[in-house]
């Protein structure tokens, strides 16, 4: 009986140690996934006379797991400046390709993350899905906050709003208020660029 009790205690101890090891590994994985990533930074010279002349964009995964983009402009930006007397409002957008086989030079992005004006005093952020020739459909909200200088806008949105791909490719552009033509678009950098960002 004493031998049997020692064996049972030994098995219980082994199971306890195994459970603690598995739990520790799970915590380590969750912490690694939640850790903030190194930002991808794109810079552009302040060389436009437009309202939305972007000079810098940074993109990374924040410590809370959400994705964080910061649009920085040559001059302070107010919600009122994005409004148009007629036509579409001004916007700053990430153009995102989640399909690894998509060719950004030939295919439209399947997601847009944009900042526009809700009113003269408030900004609005959102994640939009692009399907064919139809207008993009809003699939999720994005939080938006201006920095103290007024030159930068911080946008946060969830990975689930992009359907959680392993990696994405993205480009950046802004559109002048009241203008729908291609001449009203400011890309960062000027000749356009597509960057790759790994989510997991």
Give me the percent of the chain exceeding a pLDDT of 70. Answer: 80
pLDDT digits (tens, 9 = 90+) for 109-145: 999 999 999 999 999 999 999 998 888 999 999 999 9
Mapping DSSP onto H, E and C, the string for 82-144 reads: HCCCCCCCCEEEEEEECCCCCCCCCCCCCEEEEEEECCCCCEEEEEEECCCCCCCEEEEEEEE
Looking at residue 12, its pLDDT comes to 46
Strand-pair partners of 21: none
pLDDT at residue 48 greater than cutoff 70: no
The mean pLDDT value for 160-176 works out to 95
200 vs 52: which has the higher pLDDT: 52
Q: What end-to-end distance do the CA atoms of the chain give, in Å?
A: 52
The DSSP element (H or E) to which 150 belongs, if any, is none
pLDDT digits (tens, 9 = 90+) for 52-64: 889 999 999 999 9
Which sequence spans correspond to the domains of the chain?
1-34, 40-198
Q: Give the up-direction half-sphere exposure of residue 168: CA atoms within 13 A in the CB hemisphere.
A: 25
CATH number for region 40-198: 2.60.40.1190
> How far is it, in rounded angstroms, from Cα 108 to Cα 111?
9
pLDDT at residue 40 greater than cutoff 90: yes
């Amino acid at each position: 009986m004493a031998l049997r009790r020692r064996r049972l205690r030994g098995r219980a101890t082994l199971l306890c140690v195994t459970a603690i090891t598995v739990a520790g590994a799970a915590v380590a994985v969750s912490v690694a996934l939640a850790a903030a990533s190194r930002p991808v930074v794109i810079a552009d010279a302040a060389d436009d006379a437009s309202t939305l002349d972007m000079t810098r964009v940074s993109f990374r995964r924040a410590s809370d797991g959400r994705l964080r983009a910061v649009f920085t402009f040559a001059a302070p930006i107010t919600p009122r400046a994005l409004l148009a007397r007629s036509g579409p409002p001004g916007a700053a957008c990430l153009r995102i390709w989640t399909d690894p086989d998509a060719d950004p030079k030939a295919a439209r992005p399947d997601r847009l993350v944009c900042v526009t004006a809700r009113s003269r005093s408030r900004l609005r952020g959102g994640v939009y899905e692009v399907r064919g020739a139809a207008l993009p459909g809003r699939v999720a909200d994005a939080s938006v906050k201006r920095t103290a200088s007024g030159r930068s806008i911080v946008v946060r949105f969830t990975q689930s709003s992009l359907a959680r791909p392993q990696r994405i490719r993205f480009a950046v552009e802004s559109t002048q208020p009241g203008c729908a033509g291609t001449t009203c678009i400011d890309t960062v950098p000027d000749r356009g660029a597509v960057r790759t960002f790994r989510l997991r």
